[in-house]
């Protein structure tokens, strides 16, 4: 039997800054559908009044809060995912970590006092899942670079003659 060297293309990790910027940009982009869902739910009659900091009085969740939370979540998600960028299973670990954080954030609406309407709780959970789902998908994809390391394409073509672009004509 002949021992043939096998090689696989492993993408190099994306720069930390690119992951962070991707998180913020995705946060800005997911802010638009989040605001649309928020405004539609407000028009339907969801009160969006929550207790803040253990206080018994209810405070209205404003539009500016709905705008800032996805951006902050994207920034923090980018920070977290950037720590996994050099690991072999970095995208998978980041996706699992961000999914766990999304599910943990859904506990906040559930822990509201009884004076908070059920429609508000369900609506906030929907908004959390929308933001967390989109950010998890986008940030975990931003971790790896699409460009193969320098020299890999030439190395693969030299090992497997006929697999290059000239044989596909």
Q: For residue 38, which phi and psi values (nearest 5 degrees)?
A: -60, -50
Q: Averaged over 84-91, what is the pLDDT?
A: 85
| Cα–Cα distance measured from residue 15 to residue 12, given in angstroms and rounded to the nearest whole number | 9
- Residues 35-86 pLDDT 10s: 999 999 999 999 999 998 877 789 999 999 999 999 999 999 999 999 988 8
- Residues 108-161 pLDDT 10s: 999 999 999 999 999 999 999 999 999 999 998 888 655 554 544 555 555 555
| Cα–Cα distance measured from residue 109 to residue 165, given in angstroms and rounded to the nearest whole number | 55
Number of Cβ atoms within 10 Å of the Cβ of 152: 16
How is residue 111 written in tokens?
């822990």
What is the widest separation between alpha-carbon atoms in the chain?
77
- DSSP letter, residue 13: B
Higher per-residue pLDDT: 161 or 88 = 88
| Cα–Cα distance measured from residue 32 to residue 35, given in angstroms and rounded to the nearest whole number | 5
- Which pLDDT band holds residue 10 (cuts at 50, 70, 90)? low
pLDDT(4) > 90: no
Strands 49-51 and 58-60: antiparallel
Residue 9 confidence (pLDDT): 56
């Amino acid at each position: 039997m002949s021992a043939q060297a096998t090689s696989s293309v492993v993408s190099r990790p994306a720069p930390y800054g690119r992951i962070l910027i991707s998180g913020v940009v995705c946060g800005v982009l997911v802010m638009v559908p989040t605001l649309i869902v928020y405004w539609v739910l407000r028009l339907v009659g969801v009160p969006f009044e929550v207790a803040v900091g253990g206080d018994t009085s209810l405070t209205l969740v404003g539009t500016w809060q709905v705008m800032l939370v996805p951006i902050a979540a994207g920034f923090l998600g980018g920070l977290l995912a950037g720590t996994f960028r050099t690991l072999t299973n970095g995208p998978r670990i980041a996706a699992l970590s961000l999914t766990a954080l999304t599910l943990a954030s859904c506990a906040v609406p559930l822990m509201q006092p009884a004076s908070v309407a059920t429609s508000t709780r369900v609506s906030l959970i929907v908004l959390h899942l929308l933001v967390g789902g989109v950010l998890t998908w986008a940030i975990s994809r931003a971790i790896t670079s699409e460009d193969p390391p320098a020299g890999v394409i030439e190395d693969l073509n030299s090992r497997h003659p006929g697999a290059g672009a000239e044989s596909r004509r």
